[in-house]
């Protein structure tokens, strides 16, 4: 693996300084920025705009023990059950215990959570949860409403600068830990900073079909690995059972999610013959854990040789559906599906990356000064399978913890850090086709249902591509993206081949 991607002359680049650099403007990035001491200068960078994140797209809501009949042990237990034995119990306890306090803070910050006509907070239930504990905003636009509000607040803070359309290429380190990053905001620049939080989100676009936005390719995780950070569980990839099945997977920018909450409100999965095929497959039927529902759908699709199954939402009135799921209602109607009368065609797509950069309970990685929070991190709370709506909560709880830890353990900026570059010379060509090739390999061999033989084949193909990619001179963002996609794919296939047991989302057939 290369140490650096950048191959230009680093000597001539402009240098800027800050106290804390945060990479990513999703909920993890913004919330952590808001918890850094106001006397520290913070720069938040983001590849596109504030809407270019998984956070913006999150629909269902945020899980937390808020309802009077709910209790901490139940949320802990549900999370551990979903995680199939791979959760870190301590991390789960922190998540659950500190959840309500952070929800209260969002309420105080005027995140517009939905209320019922009596004025009480609406709290709903999703798959895998034994109690109602999901708060939501804008009906099914919780992520958008939360990210928008956190972004608005961040923009009012004098110590926080948010740089849009800016991407991080490389992280720099010395013998004491992280010292800075190479970024591009139209020009390459070196940010000198010894406290860096990675909040770079997921990896979805290394699969053909994903609910994630285009930039989600795991490049933050790859940069951390090149800087010496350890990862865990990269093979633990969650698929969402119900994404809108329209058009071919290869050409789709992003699969539109039909939230689990739709099944929570009475939606039923049906096969070609109209049978409710989840009945009898699991005690929670349509609300069984995501991996079980995903595999049941794939089995139906295989059995009937069809590209999708259906979600029957006809038990809900149009008025209710439109109010509760405005985004889904609109998308279905734009796509010519007359919900709730007509069934919604659905199929599984990649959705969430459980694994990531390994951290402790304060977001600290093994590289001093480098922290990770949110979807790019492995805190141990999701184990082998994430429980619905626990991920935004993770962004809040662990994003805040990383910020508070930095406040207490601040590392001064090293000025005039030594930086190096990559010296490869083979020109990179045909990058778009090569990116598609990687996505096809990962989708074929490291999907929701895996085989030992398939994983070995996938690894062989990616190892070959990876060895060739290491020799390429990378010049454009597309080149970097390609290299990072190969790196992410390799971590997933290596992890999947190394993990001997079939567990949670890492399901081995036979
Ligand atoms: C459709 C959908 C629905 C979901 N619904 C729910 C839900 O209901 N409840 C729930 O809890 N979770 C849900 N999730 C999961 C949840 O939204 C995410 O796990 C969570 O929001 C991730 O937040 P994050 O801050 O870690 O990353 P993101 O929100 O993905 O933000 C990543 C940021 O990093 C930036 N970035 C990445 N790489 C670089 C780079 N190299 N340089 C600069 N910037 C970079 C991106 O531009 C972006 O700003 C959903 C996810 C999706 C896709």
List per-residue pLDDT tens for the chain, 510 residues long. 999 999 998 888 999 999 999 999 999 999 999 999 999 999 999 999 999 999 999 988 999 999 999 999 999 999 999 999 999 999 999 999 999 999 999 999 999 999 999 999 999 988 789 999 999 999 889 999 999 999 999 999 999 999 999 999 999 999 999 999 999 999 999 999 999 999 999 999 999 999 999 999 999 999 999 999 999 999 999 999 999 998 766 656 789 999 888 998 999 999 999 999 999 999 989 988 888 899 999 999 999 999 999 999 999 999 999 999 999 999 999 999 999 999 999 999 999 999 999 999 999 999 999 999 999 999 999 999 999 899 999 999 999 999 999 999 999 998 888 888 999 999 999 999 999 999 999 999 999 999 999 999 999 999 999 999 999 999 999 999 999 999 999 999 999 999 999 999 999 997
Per-residue model confidence (pLDDT) at position 249: 65
CATH, domain range 242-348: 3.90.700.10
Per-residue model confidence (pLDDT) at position 291: 86
Span from the CA of 26 to the centroid of ligand 1 (angstroms): 5
Report the nearest atom of ligand 1 relative to the CA of 210: 53
Per-residue model confidence (pLDDT) at position 380: 97
Per-residue model confidence (pLDDT) at position 284: 86
Burial class (CB in 10 A: 0-12, 13-18, 19+), 391: buried
Tell me how far apart the alpha carbons of residues 244 and 253 are, in angstroms, rounded to a whole number.
Answer: 13
CA distances from 241 to 108, 292, 295, 446, 502 (A): 34, 9, 8, 16, 19
Tell me how far apart the alpha carbons of residues 429 and 478 are, in angstroms, rounded to a whole number.
Answer: 10
127, 260 in Cβ contact below 8 A? yes
What pTM does this model have?
0.95
For ligand 1, pick from 50, 143, 189 the residue to mutate: most ligand atoms within 8 Å of CB.
143
Instruction: Give the residue range(s) of CATH 3.90.700.10 domains in the chain.
Output: 242-348
Report the CATH architecture of 10-62+144-236+354-408: 3-Layer(bba) Sandwich (3.50)
Tell me how far apart the alpha carbons of residues 402 and 249 are, in angstroms, rounded to a whole number.
Answer: 37
Tell me how far apart the alpha carbons of residues 69 and 123 are, in angstroms, rounded to a whole number.
Answer: 11
Span from the CA of 31 to the centroid of ligand 1 (angstroms): 13
Q: Does domain 426-498 have CATH number 2.30.42.10?
A: no
Contacts of 169 by beta carbon, 8 Å cutoff, 6+ apart: 5, 6, 181, 182, 183, 184, 188, 223, 480
Residues with CB under 6 A from ligand 1: 23-29, 45-48, 52-55, 57-62, 142-143, 167-168, 199-202, 211-212, 215, 219-220, 257, 352, 374-375, 389-392, 395
Span from the CA of 118 to the centroid of ligand 1 (angstroms): 33
Q: Which residues are catalytic?
A: 290
Instruction: Give the residue range(s) of CATH 1.20.58.100 domains in the chain.
Output: 426-498
Cα angle: 286, vertex 120, 58; to 5 degrees = 45
């Amino acid at each position: 693996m290369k140490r650096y991607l950048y191959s230009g002359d680093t000597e001539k680049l402009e240098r800027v300084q800050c106290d804390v650099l945060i990479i990513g403007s999703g909920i993890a990035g913004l919330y952590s920025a808001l918890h850094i001491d106001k006397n520290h200068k913070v720069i938040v960078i983001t590849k596109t705009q504030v809407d270019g994140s998984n956070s913006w797209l999150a629909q269902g809501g945020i899980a937390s023990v808020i309802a009077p009949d709910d209790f901490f042990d139940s949320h802990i237990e549900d999370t551990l059950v979903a995680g199939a034995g791979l959760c870190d119990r301590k991390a789960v306890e922190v998540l659950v215990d500190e959840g309500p306090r952070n929800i209260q803070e969002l309420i105080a910050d005027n995140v517009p959570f939905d209320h019922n006509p009596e004025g009480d907070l609406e709290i709903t239930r999703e798959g895998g949860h034994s109690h109602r504990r999901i708060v939501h905003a804008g009906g099914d636009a919780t992520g958008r409403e939360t990210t928008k509000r956190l972004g608005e607040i961040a923009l009012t803070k004098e110590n926080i600068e948010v740089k849009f359309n800016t991407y991080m290429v490389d992280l720099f380190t010395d013998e004491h830990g992280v010292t800075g990053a190479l970024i591009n905001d139209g020009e390459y620049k070196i940010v000198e900073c010894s406290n860096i939080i990675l909040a770079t989100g997921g990896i979805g676009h290394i699969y053909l079909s994903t609910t994630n936005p285009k930039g989600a390719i795991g490049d933050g995780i790859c940069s951390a690995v090149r800087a010496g950070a350890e990862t865990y569980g990269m093979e633990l990839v969650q698929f969402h059972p119900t994404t809108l099945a329209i058009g071919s997977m290869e050409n789709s920018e992003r699969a539109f999610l039909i939230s689990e909450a739709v099944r929570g409100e009475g939606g039923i999965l049906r096969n070609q013959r109209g049978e409710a095929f989840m009945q009898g497959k699991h005690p929670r039927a349509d609300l069984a854990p995501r991996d079980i529902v995903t595999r049941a759908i794939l089995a139906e699709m295989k059995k009937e040789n069809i590209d999708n199954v259906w979600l029957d939402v006809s038990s809900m009135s149009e008025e209710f559906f439109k109010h509760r799921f405005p985004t889904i209602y609109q998308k279905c109607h734009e796509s010519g599906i007359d919900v709730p009368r007509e069934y919604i065609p659905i199929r599984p797509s990649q959705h969430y990356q459980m694994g990531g950069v390994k951290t402790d309970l304060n977001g600290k990685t093994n590289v001093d000064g480098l922290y990770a929070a949110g979807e790019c991190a492995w805190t141990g709370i999701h184990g082998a399978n994430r429980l619905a709506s626990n991920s935004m909560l993770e962004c809040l709880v662990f994003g805040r913890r990383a910020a508070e830890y930095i406040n207490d353990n601040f590392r001064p900026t090293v000025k005039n850090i030594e930086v190096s570059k990559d010296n490869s010379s083979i020109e990179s060509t045909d990058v778009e086709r090569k990116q598609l090739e990687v996505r096809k390999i990962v989708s074929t061999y490291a999907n929701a249902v895996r085989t030992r033989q398939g994983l070995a084949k996938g690894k062989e193909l990616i190892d070959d591509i990876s060895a060739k990619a290491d020799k390429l001179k990378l010049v454009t963002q597309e080149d970097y993206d390609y290299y990072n996609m190969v790196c992410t794919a390799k971590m997933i296939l290596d992890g999947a081949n190394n993990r001997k047991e079939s567990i949670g989302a890492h399901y081995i057939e036979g």
